[in-house]
Amino acid sequence: MSIPFKVLKSLLRLSCIVLGIALAACVGNVPSGGESEVTAFVDVNVVPMDASGLLEHQTVIVFDGIVSVVGPSSTTEIPEHANVIDGANRFLLPGLADMHVHISNLDEFVLFIAMGLRRSAICTVTRTSLRGEAA
């Protein structure tokens, strides 16, 4: 017994909506202890998403998962309780999103989330068949 494509498409959409609601509930959680989570990427090369070129020797401060400060490493103050990451000879692409993803089952989707993919666009369902197999 095969499930009609329209039913599968509807189930996929419903699954994505439910998962989206569940993930949205997790956003913005403050770490235990009531303190904000702060990360500082120091002396990193930033590839901006809104302009061409490269911003060299920058410090990027992230408060609770949101990029809050981007500035020259020589003048940007790092918060005292920040988790400092040495970005020398490394590149940072804030806001990069994967806009082309093929996911064939829920296990793959969960794996993408576990590996840190937070933003992606699932634009369509692609059907593939092996040579000699009926399409």
Q: What is the CATH number of the domain that holds 75?
A: 2.30.40.10
pLDDT at 30: 45
Adjacent-strand bridge partners of 112: none
pLDDT at 20: 56
Kindly state whether residues 53 and 86 are assigned to the same domain: yes
pLDDT at 87: 92
89 lies in some domain: yes
Residue 120: which domain range?
97-135
Kindly state whether residues 47 and 83 are assigned to the same domain: yes
68 lies in some domain: yes
Kindly state whether residues 81 and 107 are assigned to the same domain: no
pLDDT at 108: 75
pLDDT at 120: 58
C-alpha 76/C-alpha 1 separation (Å) is 63
Annotate 59-91 with DSSP letters as a single string: EEEEETTEEEEEEETTTPPPPTT-EEEE-TT-E
Mean per-residue pLDDT pooled into runs of 10, the chain (135 residues): 65 60 51 73 88 91 90 95 93 71 73 64 52 55
63 lies in some domain: yes
41 lies in some domain: yes
Kindly state whether residues 89 and 104 are assigned to the same domain: no
- Residue with tokens 């419903």, as numbered in its chain: 14
Output the pTM of the full model. 0.51
pLDDT at 28: 47
Number of domains making up the chain: 2
68 contacts 62 by C-beta, under 8 angstroms: yes
Kindly state whether residues 39 and 54 are assigned to the same domain: yes
